[in-house]
């Protein structure tokens, strides 16, 4: 596959910056407050998975989940099992339809699914329910009692303005419509974390989730990132893992393949939208032309037709 000059320059910058920053040794031995390169986006789904979703990433994943759930002190979850390691191939990474969600089990019972969605495909409600239901249903094996179905928590980090609420963090359960404090079951819990709304908070670090989102945010300054690393050991572990991953040449290539695949998908969607707009305008013009001809056939004058069209435009606003 031929890579454009733009991508070659991008690739060379990544290799140069990461080779200066990353340690050649396993990240568990790194004790550093070096912040990540601005060339890498921690919310790229491939990079998020490599940092949070592989065996050995339990410390940072557990820290993030506790932050989302608002667990502090003795209420914190203390054990987690990451359910699967994905085998990455160039074909799989370049497949725009492949989802790289992170799956885990808390305390051997509660299942968690974490995904990152950077583009608004206008399906987050159904998409999140699908991911939740898939995790819920496949947990029951043939012959088991329904009571053995686990609680499932779905967490979606979105980089677009989704859910019409004032907060950047929304959480949904199955509640009674009349008595809102009555929850049908704890089996369903769905979280949305809105990065667009969070960025408007400007440097909020007074709780664990805000510190995590500051670290995830590609726009955070090095000074702010360093402050976050000093405040949270789990985030520091995630940062060390990120430096280690981005110092690996294979991971760099895989990141670039995924980055390009996501750019290609965005370009295709935008092109389809532009083409649809053009077709809509052409169709609208044709429909308007036919409407005017019908009004002429009804015997209306030019001024009467103009007045009627003006009223239609006003009524449609």
* Per-residue pLDDT, 120: 87
Residue 315's pLDDT is what?
A: 66
Does 136 have pLDDT greater than 90? yes
What pLDDT score does 29 carry? Answer: 47
Q: According to the model, what pLDDT value does residue 98 have? A: 56
**CA proximity to 263, closest of 6, 79, 30:** 6
Structure tokens at 162: 């989704």
Going by pLDDT thresholds of 50, 70 and 90, the confidence category of residue 62 is very high
Q: d(Cα 186, Cα 109) in Å, to the nearest integer?
A: 12
The model's pTM is 0.70
User: Distance of alpha carbon 107 from its chain centroid, rounded?
Assistant: 25
Sorted by where each begins, the domain ranges of the chain are 5-269, 278-316
Question: Average pLDDT, stretch 58-81?
Answer: 96
pLDDT at 169: 97
Rg over alpha carbons for the chain, rounded to the nearest Å, is: 25
pLDDT mean over 235-251: 86
Asked whether 129 and 13 are in contact (CB, 8 A), the reply is no
Which pLDDT band, with edges at 50, 70 and 90, does 58 fall under? very high
């Amino acid at each position: 596959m031929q890579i454009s000059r733009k991508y070659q320059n991008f690739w060379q910058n990544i290799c140069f910056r990461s080779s200066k920053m990353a340690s050649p040794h396993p990240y568990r031995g790194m004790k550093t407050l070096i912040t990540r390169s601005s060339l890498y986006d921690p919310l790229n789904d491939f990079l998020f998975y490599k940092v949070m979703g592989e065996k050995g990433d339990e410390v940072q994943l557990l820290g993030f989940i506790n932050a989302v759930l608002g667990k502090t002190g003795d209420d914190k979850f203390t054990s987690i099992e990451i359910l699967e390691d994905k085998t990455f191939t160039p074909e799989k990474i370049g497949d725009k339809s492949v989802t790289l969600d992170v799956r885990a089990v808390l305390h051997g019972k509660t299942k968690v699914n974490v995904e990152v969605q950077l583009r608004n495909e206008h399906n987050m409600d159904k998409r999140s329910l699908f991911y939740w239901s898939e995790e819920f249903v496949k947990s029951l094996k043939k012959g088991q009692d329904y009571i053995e179905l686990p609680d499932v928590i779905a967490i979606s980090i979105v980089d677009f303005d989704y859910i019409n609420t004032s907060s950047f963090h929304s959480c949904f359960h199955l509640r009674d419509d009349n008595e809102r404090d009555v929850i049908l079951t704890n089996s369903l819990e769905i979280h949305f974390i809105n990065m667009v709304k969070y960025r408007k908070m400007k440097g909020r670090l007074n709780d664990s989730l805000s510190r995590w989102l500051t670290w995830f945010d590609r726009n955070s300054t090095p000074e702010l990132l360093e402050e976050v690393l000093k405040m949270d050991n789990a985030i520091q572990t995630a940062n060390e893992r990120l430096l280690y991953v981005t110092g690996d040449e294979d991971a760099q290539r895989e990141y670039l393949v995924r980055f390009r695949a996501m750019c290609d998908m965005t370009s295709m969607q935008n092109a389809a939208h532009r083409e649809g707009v053009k077709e809509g305008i052409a169709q609208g013009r044709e429909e308007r032309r036919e409407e005017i001809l019908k009004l002429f056939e009804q015997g209306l004058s030019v001024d009467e037709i103009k007045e009627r069209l003006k009223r239609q435009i006003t009524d449609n606003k």
